[in-house]
Amino acid sequence: CCRCPQWCSFILSHWPGPRPAVTPALCSAPQPQPDPEPEGDSDDSTALGTLEFTLLFDADNSALHCTAHRAKGLKPPASGSVDTYVKANLLPGTSKASQLRTRTVRGTRGPVWEETLTYHGFTRQDAGRKTLRLCVCEDPRLRRRRRAPPLGELRVPLRKLVPNRARSFDVCLEKRRLTKRPKSLDTARGMSLYEEEEVEAEVAGEERGRILLSLCYSSQRGGLLVGVLRCAHLAPMDANGYSDPFVRLFLHPNVGKKSKYKTSVRRKTLNPEFNEEFFYAGPREELAQKTLLVSVWDYDLGTADDFIGRVQLSSRASGEGQQHWSECLGHSDRRLELWHPLDGAPFQLSD
């Protein structure tokens, strides 16, 4: 018997000969319908679907590559539409400084992206203490509605990665995790740690970002070539959660305009790429006694620029600043690139 009582009545009224006995329970009982796209087990851990991706920590180039391959068995939202993308964040850290996303794939519960997201300036120290969060999100822009919560997320402790060796994952998506914002966290200048005011239990503190510099002493030109290549994970200084960064350079002690340079401004970004080069004339012995002061600023129209962070390179500096400076001036015509963490303390006159 069919499930519709009206249809049953119509059939019985036109039935030739004696009418067959009908059990009402059988007519009205709903029949199981096959799922057009099975989601696997009914366990909560797999109900949200799975995500396939590959991670590669390129230690030689200080980069983390995340390739989002595909998702399977995604649970559609109440609207029934599934236009999805993958969003990545490095935790702990500022949301927009480490946020990357794939393109949107429309209308499927099994989207295929095959897209690689790259974090520049990713070091061994980052691998030891950071976690990668991947969220599968619905794109609200295509349907003209408010942003919905992620369809599911997962987190991978990056200490599990072996440098220069790709590792593939096929992981079940989980429900989103929310934690309370620490009361001490300053959000007045867009310093929220990541989207929708959620934070890790471990707060990143006052991480200001890092800068990639190149140094080369040119014997042909008789001076030092300084390249400002890019910055990564800068602290947001504007209310919109971004900055408009530029870089200033000053060779100390020196006087005159030839000792001071600055890059162009990159608008609304926390991961600017500059690729600009500057020249300081002088013999190696003289330059070895000087200090190169590099500072990153947020450009503000009509008001004072905001200081983001700085790095000092000299024979008297510590860490990467001393290593980079000494190796450069110890060899001619050899271009050396190195990432430097930014210090949040401004330069003092004694510097």
What domains can you pick out in the chain, each with its CATH number?
44-197 (2.60.40.150), 210-341 (2.60.40.150)
- Lowest mean pLDDT of 62-71, 147-156, 224-233, name the range: 147-156
Whole-model pTM: value is 0.72
Instruction: Assign 3-class secondary structure to the chain.
Output: CCCCHHHHHHHHHCCCCCCCCCCHHHHHCCCCCCCCCCCCCCCHHHHCCEEEEEEEEEHHHCEEEEEEEEEECCCCCCCCCCCEEEEEEEECCCHHHHCEECCCECCCCCCEEEEEEEEECCCHHHHHHCEEEEEEEECHHHCCCCCCCCCEEEEEEHHHCCCCCCEEEEEECECCCCCCCCCCCCCCCCCCCCHHHCCCCCCCCCCCCEEEEEEEEECCCCEEEEEEEEEECCCCCCCCCCCCEEEEEEEECCCCHHHEEECCCCCCCCCCEEEEEEEEECCHHHHCCCEEEEEEEECCCCCCCEEEEEEEECCCCCCHHHHHHHHHHCCECCCEEEEEECECCCCCCCC
Taking only the tens place, the pLDDT of each residue in 242-258 is 999 999 999 998 766 68
- Lowest mean pLDDT of 55-59, 140-144, 170-174, 325-329, name the range: 140-144
Mean pLDDT of the chain: 80
- Lowest mean pLDDT of 58-67, 96-105, 252-261, 290-299, name the range: 252-261
| pLDDT for the residue 183 | 46
Q: If you average pLDDT over residues 102-121, what whole number do you get? A: 94
Q: If you average pLDDT over residues 66-81, what whole number do you get? A: 82
